[in-house]
Structure 1
Amino acid sequence: MDTITAPSLILASTSPYRKRLLERLALPFHCVSPETDETPRVDEPPEALAGRLADAKALAVSRSHPNAAVLGSDQVAALGTVLLGKPGSICAAQEQLGRCSGQSVSFYTAVTLARSGEVVARRCVPTVVRFRTLTDHQIAQYVDRERPLDCAGSFRWEGLGICLFTALESTDPTALEGLPLIATCDLLSAQGVAAL
């Protein structure tokens, strides 16, 4: 594996959503796939799971790129105590949105900064999405039009998915897309890597 020279920034992710978000900061960075097991532990709270996985991703890449600042991020969605993963199919997306109809879903998006194989800092940003009461027809129409099969919660809020909500509560709306940019700016600035 190539060693990237300092100073450098690496996003420990293959997510096109996270890559697109980090590009908004206009900082040079590379993406490296983290090799991590994302299996939840028994009775692990969603916020703890998001933090543990963000740490694991950042550390997995940081160990092989010791001169870089490495960002790892993870998002966990929960409807009550039930974790909502990426649906993967139209049927699963429709079923997931049916369960969310008229409910509030909590999203926990963690971002970790690691250097030299050590966690430097981590932030977790909670977001609450309040869903409208949706008909089966509305759900089917939405899933057919936007195909959110690779999104936890089965929607893309930055697209037509915004029509599914009555409210969205967060201190950092980009957290819902998978990388909280306000928190990311804070972590990077504290390490001397600033977009401005």
Structure 2
Amino acid sequence: MRNLILASSSPFRRQILDKLNLEYSCISPDIDESALENESAEELVARLSASKAQKVADEVSNSLIIGSDQVAVLGDEILGKPHTHENAVKQLQKLSGNAVTFLTGLSLLNSDTGQCQTEVVPFKVYFRELTTSMIENYLRAEEPYKCAGSFKSEALGIVLFDKLEGEDPNTLIGLPLIRLVRMLEKEELNVL
């Protein structure tokens, strides 16, 4: 029996993966997440999700390793994690009234064969017109400073939106389960 490993320290990704009732462990890969020159958002998340899985594969054998990475894109601009209150305010002001696409790179790497499946899964979020007080109240309530786009959709952040558009709501939180199940099945790990 192969081990299943989530190459992440994200509690949100763990919560999502828990839905599948599979035994797995977590190893947090330490990689440089900087974008390369002229790298598109899609290329960035695909590369980072595969790199996270590969970094863990370098340490283990007999494992299926899940790597995931996500960015928010407004037009051609990649929105990172704000880290500070001031940056989060600016980010939410920019998102107000706009549609933002979240791109999640998902990789499943077989550490024994080296076979790596990688996909980029989009999810679109349409933001309401946000007032200054809405932004301030939201940021005080949730402090989403380590979240791309400055919000947590799985909690109070949902009040910032007009609508959501995508095949799998788990994608927005950072782990597209529908695609992951298909990848696991290709590796002969059936969830049901």
- TM-score calculated relative to the size of structure 1: 0.94
Tell me whether 1:159 sits opposite 2:120 in the alignment: no
Asked whether the 8 Å contact 1:25–1:195 carries over to 2, the reply is yes
In structure 2, the partner of 1:120 is 116
Asked whether the 8 Å contact 2:17–2:177 carries over to 1, the reply is yes
Give how far 1:181 is off.
Answer: 0.8
Tell me whether 1:84 sits opposite 2:79 in the alignment: yes
Return the alpha-carbon distance in structure 1 between the equivalents of residues 70 and 181 of structure 2: 18
Tell me whether 1:36 sits opposite 2:19 in the alignment: no
Asked whether the 8 Å contact 2:65–2:111 carries over to 1, the reply is no
In structure 2, the partner of 1:174 is 170
In structure 2, the partner of 1:191 is 187
1:137 to 133, 138, 142: 133
**Greater CA drift, 33-42 or 48-57:** 33-42
Structure 2 letter corresponding to 1:165: F
Structure 2 letter corresponding to 1:16: P
Percent of pairs with identical residues:
42
Give how far 1:84 is off.
Answer: 0.9
Which segments of structure 1 move beyond 3 Å, counting only runs of 4 or more?
A: none
Q: Deviations over 1:116-141 (max 9, x none)?
A: 26242112110111111111111101
SS at match of 1:14: coil
Give how far 1:33 is off.
Answer: 1.3
The unaligned stretches of length 5 or more in structure 2 are none
Q: Deviations over 1:132-180 (max 9, x none)?
A: 1111111101111111111100111111111111111111110110111
Give how far 1:35 is off.
Answer: 2.2
Return the alpha-carbon distance in structure 2 between the equivalents of residues 88 and 97 of structure 1: 13
Q: What are the equivalent positions in structure 2 for 1:66-77 lying under 5 Å apart? A: 66-77=61-72
Asked whether the 8 Å contact 1:55–1:119 carries over to 2, the reply is no
- TM-score calculated relative to the size of structure 2: 0.95
Equivalent residues, number: 191
SS at match of 2:147: coil
Return the alpha-carbon distance in structure 2 between the equivalents of residues 42 and 165 of structure 1: 32
Give how far 1:110 is off.
Answer: 1.3
Structure 2 letter corresponding to 1:107: F
Structure 2 letter corresponding to 1:24: K
Return the alpha-carbon distance in structure 2 between the equivalents of residues 185 and 132 of structure 1: 33
Tell me whether 1:94 sits opposite 2:89 in the alignment: yes
Give how far 1:82 is off.
Answer: 1.4
Return the alpha-carbon distance in structure 2 between the equivalents of residues 121 and 30 of structure 1: 20
Return the alpha-carbon distance in structure 1 between the equivalents of residues 116 and 77 of structure 2: 31
> RMSD across aligned C-alpha pairs, in angstroms?
1.2
In structure 1, the partner of 2:49 is 54
- Give the 3 Å change call, closer, same or farther, for CA 107–119 of structure 1 in structure 2: farther
Return the alpha-carbon distance in structure 1 between the equivalents of residues 76 and 136 of structure 2: 25
Return the alpha-carbon distance in structure 2 between the equivalents of residues 97 and 59 of structure 1: 34
